[in-house]
Structure 1
Amino acid sequence: MSEAALRPTGLRRRAEELAAALPPLLVAAEHLAAAVQLGEHGRRRAGMGDEFWQFRPAHAGDEARMIDWRRSARADVHFVREKEWQAAQSVQIWLDDARSMEFTGAKDRPTKGDRARLLALALSVLMIRAGERVGLADASAPPRPGEVQLMRLAQTFTAPPGEADFGAPVARAFLPHARAVFLSDFLGDPAPVEAALTEAADRGVKGALVQILDPVEEAFPFDGRTIFESMAGSLTYETRKAGDLRDRYLQRIAERKDRLDRLARATGWLFLCHHTGDSPQSALLWLYRALERVR
């Protein structure tokens, strides 16, 4: 870091630049998380812990010390006092920061990257406030609990996009038996995605693939002379009859979605295709429930 950046004026400018991007995303994520009325966190189940969860009738094999004699005195059967399972789980997120994620087909719709960032941070809010550890799939932000970790994640999610046209997940930092979420358009080479999921599955990691697409990418409403250019500008294709490409394009996008779905099922993951024109609340609710299902 330069000396100028360390001076009071430089520090203030950098702080203001960070503050300009950070609060809106964090506020939006917290608002979205609050809108998802999930009640008690789904991890509530019997196990080691300090908080009372429920009474249940005693079964053969239960130790005498487990019986709650005061509750049992009010009935004709013995009751066991169960406590809540409190072993925190780790959730690791890969958020595609490639240039393709900065596409939107309409000015009144968010980019795919904006929707992915919102979902990633809102999910982090839900998980961390339920006592879980959340981090990134690479080694830059290991899973940790607490509000400070939320700020770290928000900073990471608001960083400028990368230079590549399409992103590829990294699975080298996955913790054994953690849960994971990949958020991307998955329009690049599928081989790195398959390799990452295979490696994750070998470590006992299960999770959810969320493909985020703009409605334009599903409808292909182009006709006549059209120039297609990647967001990074490295790929360009010009045609005078774009309409002739529609059927082949729609077939390819359907094949890609089916390939991702089959890959997810083969590795014990779940798959969702979410459109930026749809409510983020429904996608967040699906994500939350998906992580409970893949325990």
Structure 2
Amino acid sequence: MGRIGEVQAPVATRDALARGRLRASLVPDLLVEARRIVNTVIAGWHGRRKRGIGENFWQFRPYVEGDSSRIDWRRSARDDHTYVRDREWEAAHTVWLWSDPSPSMLYKSAAAGVSKESRALVLALAMAELLSRSGERIAWPGLTDPFTARNGAERIAAQLSHAGALPAKPDLSAIRRFCDIVIVSDFLDPVEETMTWLDVLARHGVRAHLIEVADPAEETFPYAGRTEFTDPETGDKLTAGRAETLKEEYRLLYTARREELAGWCKRLGWSFTVNHTDRLASDALVRVHMAMTADSSRPGLTAGHAGLTASHAGLTAGGGDLGKAVE
């Protein structure tokens, strides 16, 4: 049986410098790919427009009793209704972006076109490009402070290219109320660990948008026969004499982890999107855009984190071969 998947790594070393060089070599091409994807969805991207203080006209709307807006008598004279003129809110919004740099993101099966890390970086850079074109402030936790620039995606890409070893989970405590954050990861850690890490966002009134990047092999578990699995995060190994006997239990744990995390996000007013590496990245961008423009309530305090603790599913495997991970 041939290999089902492999870890994408150009060098057989666990040195942090090698990981940094790998990221630096990926970023320029991924920025080009991100801009290509943006150009396919930009026609439907209208920003998060709303009425408020500003100089630019936005819309006419019917007057309702008690409305504090000034009536536009010229527009109202055209028919039998009374209209008010709305201006567009011009204050820039701050959106934080982050993609997971952990070793499990390097996995790529034969059914996927790209590794999870590649897809995550493309999604984050594409969001940066879209938000920069809309005049929003963007930032990357642990890497940049919020800034506004038309070349925002390029600036973040340059910072990533020259960054050293990035933390597996950055400190999110500096992100303040009414900001948004887009987090792209495989979210394969135990659910409680993920909730604990993100709890500070809920307590600060930040609205989060989680994008789970999934390789198709991680969902279907296409392994059979004697298979040796390696956890890329810890290096722990598991040898299964008949891997197919683990399929149902594995899929139950994998699905339960996702459903628990998605349900927790829904209770907080956050969005949760799944993007598979054998499908289009633009699908996730459209879904996140819809979630960011939705007039949902701001997140409140987190409820108790009662849920399932699933085993880490970020295993690399080959049919009878050992998959190796590079940090």
Q: Which TM class, normalised by the smaller chain length?
A: 0.7 to 0.9
SS in 2 for 1:147: coil
Relative to structure 1, is the Cα distance of residues 216 and 203 closer, same or farther in structure 2, using a 3 angstrom cutoff? Answer: same
Normalised to the residue count of structure 2, the TM-score between the two structures is 0.76
Paired residues in the alignment total: 275
Given residue 116 of structure 2, which amino acid in structure 1 is its aligned partner? K
Give the gaps of 5 or more residues in structure 1: 1-16
SS in 2 for 1:81: strand
Given residue 116 of structure 1, which amino acid in structure 2 is its aligned partner? A
Contact kept? 1:43, 1:85, Cα under 8 Å: no
Corresponding residue of 1:67: 71
Corresponding residue of 1:36: 41
Residue 156 of structure 2 is aligned with which of 153, 156, 162? 153
Corresponding residue of 1:10: none
Corresponding residue of 2:292: 291
Which structure shows the bigger proportion of residues in helix conformation?
A: 1
CA deviation after TM superposition for structure 1 residue 26, in Å:
1.9
CA deviation after TM superposition for structure 1 residue 243, in Å:
1.2
Corresponding residue of 2:90: 86
Work out which structure has the larger RCO, using CA pairs closer than 8 Å and 6 or more positions apart in sequence. Answer: 2
Deviation per residue, 1:150-170 (Å, 9 max, x gap)? 222113445689588xx4353
Deviation per residue, 1:227-253 (Å, 9 max, x gap)? 111335722222211111111111110
Corresponding residue of 2:30: 25
Corresponding residue of 1:266: 267
Give % identity: 34
Corresponding residue of 2:116: 112
SS in 1 for 2:187: coil
2:206 counterpart of 1:205: yes
Cα separation, 1, equivalents of 2:187 and 2:174? 20
Relative to structure 1, is the Cα distance of residues 160 and 144 closer, same or farther in structure 2, using a 3 angstrom cutoff? Answer: closer
Relative to structure 1, is the Cα distance of residues 63 and 218 closer, same or farther in structure 2, using a 3 angstrom cutoff? Answer: closer
Corresponding residue of 1:218: 219
SS in 2 for 1:91: strand
Cα separation, 2, equivalents of 1:43 and 1:289? 10
CA RMSD of aligned residues (A): 2.7
CA deviation after TM superposition for structure 1 residue 40, in Å:
5.4
Give the gaps of 5 or more residues in structure 2: 1-21, 299-327
Relative to structure 1, is the Cα distance of residues 203 and 233 closer, same or farther in structure 2, using a 3 angstrom cutoff? Answer: closer
SS in 2 for 1:31: helix
| Mean Cα deviation higher: 229-238 or 116-125 | 229-238
Relative to structure 1, is the Cα distance of residues 47 and 200 closer, same or farther in structure 2, using a 3 angstrom cutoff? Answer: same
SS in 2 for 1:36: helix
2:146 counterpart of 1:143: yes
Deviation per residue, 1:77-122 (Å, 9 max, x gap)? 4432211111211111221100110100128610001000011111
Cα separation, 1, equivalents of 2:166 and 2:78? 68
| Mean Cα deviation higher: 145-154 or 155-164 | 155-164
Corresponding residue of 1:13: none
Contact kept? 2:96, 2:180, Cα under 8 Å: yes
CA deviation after TM superposition for structure 1 residue 148, in Å:
4.2
| Mean Cα deviation higher: 92-101 or 234-243 | 234-243
Contact kept? 1:22, 1:158, Cα under 8 Å: yes
Contact kept? 2:116, 2:277, Cα under 8 Å: yes
Relative to structure 1, is the Cα distance of residues 290 and 59 closer, same or farther in structure 2, using a 3 angstrom cutoff? Answer: closer
Contact kept? 1:54, 1:82, Cα under 8 Å: yes
Given residue 32 of structure 2, which amino acid in structure 1 is its aligned partner? V
Corresponding residue of 2:277: 276
2:123 counterpart of 1:122: no
Cα separation, 2, equivalents of 1:172 and 1:32? 31
2:214 counterpart of 1:228: no
